[in-house]
Structure 1
Amino acid sequence: MSGLNRELEGLLSGEGEACGADGCGPVGGVQDGAAWGGAVQGGAANTGQAAAAGAKPARPILPGATIGVLGGGQLGRMLAHAGSRMGYRFVALDPTPDAPCGQTAEQIVAGYADRDAARELARRSDVITYEFENVDADVAAMLEAESYVPQGSALLHTTQHRLREKRAIEAAGARVAPYAEIASFADLQEAAERLGLPAVLKTATGGYDGKGQWVLRVTEELAPAWDEASRAGTELVLEKFIDFEREISVIAARRPSGEIRTFPPAENIHVRNILHLSIVPARVPDAVIAEAERLAVSIAETLGAVGLIAVEMFVAKDGTLFVNELAPRPHNSGHYTMEACRTSQFEQHIRAICDLPLGDTSLLSPVVMGNILGEHVQPLLDWMQARDPEADRLGVTPKIHLYGKAEAKTGRKMGHVNVLAADTAAALAWINESTIWRV
């Protein structure tokens, strides 16, 4: 067994499992007459795809089948839109009545930790996926054992914890920002001195769109941040702040049989820690694009991802790439694919989990995706009621996607606009001149 596989064995295996060069699985290594371990592509072993006892071997899931979705948010909604066009049926599990996905699919209204509800989802589904990574990993593991969850629970378990995730990224041969595990204020002081400031203190679990994060610029900020962060009741990690030039992301899709495709990298701009714009093609050198795609493929292969995995990266001023986070699901920065690529990320995820040939990911048009938050909804609705001479002048085509959420709260993602154009400069000019984002 290689050093890489030994490291991944410790990171990605669970209780009652054994992992090695051929993958992870129950002790004994064989279920239903098939050896555990997924496909090997490009010489990289599928070490990350753990399988719990009783999990089913990969098999094609054809249209007419029902896809169960853990989570009923906007990602599930867009999965259902894409999959229903292909002939699949959908049922979602979500605690919010009339959730976005529930408006386009059947819905079981229950909490994510409700095992009876999860088993009902399994009973009504031929295959199960998840639309966000904060579903209950234990429930996902139970479903993996009792039904068919091709994504498995191991990668979900890894990406739900920043420290596990960083170690897995490093084991896959990618760089992360220098970091330290923080268990006490003394740890924080030592790590801040060793790594240097500025740095970011983060909760190891939970947190999104900037929540659960404290930017530390001077030593006087350490004590207040510790007092607040330590009340979160979770492990903490300190990350050195990377002086980056760009943020980019690459979404890769992998099917159980091993085929992998990547989407063109998106350049991402955040406002108040929430994704504001995704620009494609990304404004980075071709060599950086090629390296970003290579890293995404390496991570998907090494961690045995099935379905989509979004790899978020910082581009340093010298072009060095640092992987920031992973998301084993459809991703906000991939929404541009809905009109701008030959295959959308949502159709690709369906193809991947159903073990069908993956679609062409070629870019059809330059595009800028703009998120619609709660404060942008009314300006968007006002804009939609009249013809836009600026769009005509600039030659752009805005495509609107609203998610059907009941309440438009400030900072809450309510939809997005894909602005198709002859070049991204025209799309950015329209967004800058539009009244939609001026709130």
Structure 2
Amino acid sequence: MKQRVGVIGGGQLAWMMGAEARSLGLELWLQTPNANDPAVSQADHVILADVQDVTATGKLAEHCDVVTFENEFVDLDALGKLVGKGASFRPTLDFLAPLLDKYDQRLCCERFDIPVPRYQTWSLGDRLPEGWQYPVVLKARRHGYDGKGTFVLKDQAALAALPSALAGTALLLEEFIPFERELAVMVARNLSGEIRVFPVVETQQIDQVCHWAIAPAAISKTVAEKVTNIARHLAQNLGLVGIMGIELFLTAAGEVLVNEIAPRTHNSGHFSLDACQTSQFAMQLQAIAELPLGNPKLLTAGAVMVNLLGFEHSDSDYIHRRQLLIQFPNSRVHWYGKSGASPGRKLGHVTVLSETSNPEQLTAIAKHIERLWYPQSDA
């Protein structure tokens, strides 16, 4: 009998996990609200229910050997009651607990002597707290992603222009880091403590949304070791069973600071589907299903992953633009099949494999892909 893996969520991350589940001989069950969600087409069984519906999650857990998460926006207290009834969640709820709140993430990193930007909790006011100067970064402590809930404040006018709805939101105030590069890394760990670290990538973020990722990052061996050691340290000390993504800043002085931690598969690891011996999605499943962990080694000298973001409100499937991308040499196009486009919505991604790791050439490829995808006025 096939081992059954349940996933809470049915978006593109679960969709990419689905194909890997089949190749590993696993039976995939989903809990997702809509029959047209991307991952439904990849699942063996689907429970149509909101991802916060704990009764539905209980049913999912009854049918599955292990349950995992597409994202971290979960109710730990409610899920904890299911654990008492025999539900098996991986990663565990104890692992997730210090990572759901960005302030708790900061405390966690400090506890493990991992560098982070200066920070403090803050309630929205007319002035910055004493001792703080612009520019600063303001983040909603929970439920922020893809730039949502994150604000870079350059001056007092930017503070005054913040939406009034933030007044009742728990906030994290951070120093602005004049970084040289933004980096990211995926790390997996299984129950027996084996750890696999993927190649470090450089990401290009615009308005806190990832536009592309280049693998491997053009960084020194010393910096790569710093990032890898941080990833291993967090995975081991937090007791990870599964995979997580870590976003970091690299300063001109060579200092590496943790920006955010995503306790799941992550956009910055999508390149691994085509460019690595084992993808982040396969590694997640291997880790939680107690299968041997694969090898995250790059299969090519370099790779660039470009997000295909919505640029208008439309029901188009953009087949013409996708055909242009498919014709690009050594490209692999992944289209998520979402119903409807809107500005900034992640509709798919394309990975281009390269015989070079030269960052200038890989950046040129990323820009070429964007010119093919976006209308010229937005390119």
Q: TM-score, normalised by structure 1?
A: 0.79
1:405 and 2:342 correspond: no
- State the one-letter code of the partner of 1:420: L
- Contact kept in structure 2, 1:250 and 1:262, CA below 8 Å: yes
Match of 2:227 in 1: 292
2:355 to 406, 409, 422: 422
* C-alpha displacement of 1:112: 2.2
Match of 1:372 in 2: 308
- Contact kept in structure 2, 1:267 and 1:278, CA below 8 Å: yes
CA distance in 2, matches of 1:94, 1:282: 35
Identity across aligned pairs (percent)? 35
- Contact kept in structure 2, 1:141 and 1:152, CA below 8 Å: no
User: Are the structure 2 counterparts of residues 90 and 316 from structure 1 closer, same or farther at C-alpha, using a change threshold of 3 Å?
Assistant: same
Q: Which runs of 5+ in 2 are unaligned?
A: none
- Contact kept in structure 1, 2:304 and 2:362, CA below 8 Å: yes
SS of residue paired to 1:244:
coil
SS of residue paired to 2:128:
helix
* C-alpha displacement of 1:138: 2.8
* C-alpha displacement of 1:95: 1.7
Match of 2:17 in 1: 79
Counterpart mapping for 1:120-159 below 5 A: 120-145=59-84, 146-159=86-99
1:431 and 2:371 correspond: no
Aligned residues: 367
2:117 to 154, 177, 197: 177
1:362 to 297, 306, 326: 297
Counterpart mapping for 1:278-317 below 5 A: 278-317=213-252
Counterpart mapping for 1:323-342 below 5 A: 323-342=258-277
Flag the structure with larger Rg. 1
- Contact kept in structure 2, 1:420 and 1:427, CA below 8 Å: no
User: Are the structure 2 counterparts of residues 388 and 126 from structure 1 closer, same or farther at C-alpha, using a change threshold of 3 Å?
Assistant: closer
Q: Provide Cα deviations, 1:380-411, integer angstroms capped at 9, x if missing partner.
A: 6214446988x4xxxx4010111121112221
SS of residue paired to 2:29:
strand
- Contact kept in structure 2, 1:71 and 1:130, CA below 8 Å: yes
Counterpart mapping for 1:164-243 below 5 A: 164-183=104-123, 185=125, 189-190=128-129, 193-225=130-162, 227-230=164-167, 233-243=168-178
1:108 and 2:36 correspond: no
SS of residue paired to 2:290:
coil
Match of 1:88 in 2: 26
* C-alpha displacement of 1:224: 3.6
* C-alpha displacement of 1:287: 1.0
SS of residue paired to 2:373:
coil
SS of residue paired to 1:225:
coil
Match of 1:49 in 2: none
- State the one-letter code of the partner of 2:338: K
User: Are the structure 2 counterparts of residues 225 and 117 from structure 1 closer, same or farther at C-alpha, using a change threshold of 3 Å?
Assistant: same
Q: Provide Cα deviations, 1:249-287, integer angstroms capped at 9, x if missing partner.
A: 111000011111100001000123211010001022121
SS of residue paired to 2:92:
coil
Q: Which runs of 5+ in 1 are unaligned?
A: 1-62
SS of residue paired to 1:195:
coil
Q: TM-score, normalised by structure 2?
A: 0.91
Q: Provide Cα deviations, 1:50-70, integer angstroms capped at 9, x if missing partner.
A: xxxxxxxxxxxxx81110001
- Contact kept in structure 1, 2:212 and 2:366, CA below 8 Å: no
Match of 1:60 in 2: none
Match of 1:9 in 2: none
CA distance in 1, matches of 2:206, 2:124: 31
Q: Provide Cα deviations, 1:230-253, integer angstroms capped at 9, x if missing partner.
A: 1xx331111100010000011100
- State the one-letter code of the partner of 2:304: V
Greater Cα offset, 428-437 or 348-357 = 428-437
CA distance in 1, matches of 2:190, 2:200: 20
Q: Provide Cα deviations, 1:290-316, integer angstroms capped at 9, x if missing partner.
A: 110010100111111110011110001
Match of 1:53 in 2: none
